[in-house]
Structure 1
């Protein structure tokens, strides 16, 4: 008599399965950008059926927004740690520019660029993009305000200057991504432009070497 045996199937807890699906989607977005997030792609990465992904994530728009917010939140926290370790306002601004233009955040640049484009057709993502942009605004504006209080900066428009500086950095990173060039060579120039924008003495916004 012959017998057959089958491998026992392990049923995972809903919370564990849901976390695995989000982790799979996050890995795809980090590697390929949020535009690569499809039901099939997430299912293949998670090793489950597409129907199971749809069960735990019935709205792909919401999943894209969740993954985008998580990735950008991770980046903001990392940069907050970098600038928070520096006391001098000028050096803090220099550290911000350096870490955002050091060429090590290309994956996140793709997330940002694709997120902006996709947000036009995804309301949940649009809300996530605006929320994260406001976090960047708050971070940069707080550095500039600290510099003004310390007498290192003299601008009377820290909010507008923060917005312009973020736009400069984002634009250069996006252009470098499209051109396939190294954005680090623009860090020193951006620091000099930042000095003019915040009203700081020349050389007071150093780029770490």
Structure 2
């Protein structure tokens, strides 16, 4: 927790200050859960008065929702960059292979927990629900675009990229559903589940998307 500084502060532009608040809230959500994001907690993390945070976010639910979007959006850009494949870039096949290598690691466990947390809370928080649905669709479209590009380049064999994207993401989410309770027990049996689903959906030979 950051202690408040009684010295003179540099006045930040509204956009910069708002982004700073959202980033701080996202870090709290990733480390401890979305329930722990409160206006006072975020103010303490930034070393400012709660009134400053409430000036930008009068309702905590709006801050929780934006923190979720910030964290999961950053994850998506890290796993599946939006830039199209081309000369000097990864191919759709190599991008997808890298994607499955990354999600099989523990690096993104906190984000998997955040998704599970958000889907539970969205039952009671309409603002958060809207953000969760928006992010789900964004993820599906990003995967669909990658599959369509690979199919057009004859790297994949897929008649319905959208349907394949949904199946792949459901397999990933299903694999993450037990992350809070029995991660150790379920890791080995389902470690390759999402990858093998993707290979089947894209008409690829077994282990094509495995680590080279």
TM-score by length of 2: 0.80
Pairing 1:28–2:15 present = no
Give 1:141's aligned residue. 144
5 Å-filtered alignment, 1:85-124, equals 85-87=89-91, 89=93, 91-124=94-127
Separation of aligned partners in 2, 1:112 and 1:142: 22
Distance 1:134 1:152 in 2: 24
Equivalents in 2 of 1:143, 1:18: separation in Å? 32
Per the alignment, residue 67 of structure 1 pairs with 67
Mean CA deviation greater in 62-71 or 187-196? 187-196
State how many pairs are aligned. 201
User: Matched residue of 2:90: which SS?
Assistant: coil
Considering fraction of residues, name the structure with more helix: 1
Q: In angstroms, what is the RMSD of aligned CA positions?
A: 2.7
The equivalent of 2:197 in structure 1 is 193
Instruction: Give per-residue Cα distances to partners, 1:6-38, cap 9 Å, x unaligned.
Output: x75447346265444333322211211222112
CA distance in 2 between partners of 1:8 and 1:143 (Å): 50
Q: Partner of 1:12 in structure 2?
A: 11
Q: Which residue of 1 aligns with 2:57?
A: 57
Q: Deviations over 1:71-98 (max 9, x none)?
A: 1111111112399553153x43322222
Aligned-residue offset at 1:191: 2.4
* CA–CA separation in structure 2 for the residues paired with 1:48 and 1:88: 45
- Residue 133 of structure 2 corresponds to residue 130 of structure 1: yes
Query: In the TM superposition, what is the alpha-carbon distance from 1:175 to its structure 2 partner?
Result: 1.8
- On the 8 A contact 2:171/2:193 being kept in 1, the answer is no
- Distance of 1:42 and 1:133 partners within structure 2: 26
Alpha-carbon contact 1:102-1:184 (below 8 Å) kept:
no
Structure 1's unaligned 5+ residue stretches are 1-6
Scaled by the length of structure 1, the TM-score of the pair is 0.81
Which has the higher Rg, Structure 1 or Structure 2?
A: 1
**Structure 2 unpaired stretches of 5+:** 1-5
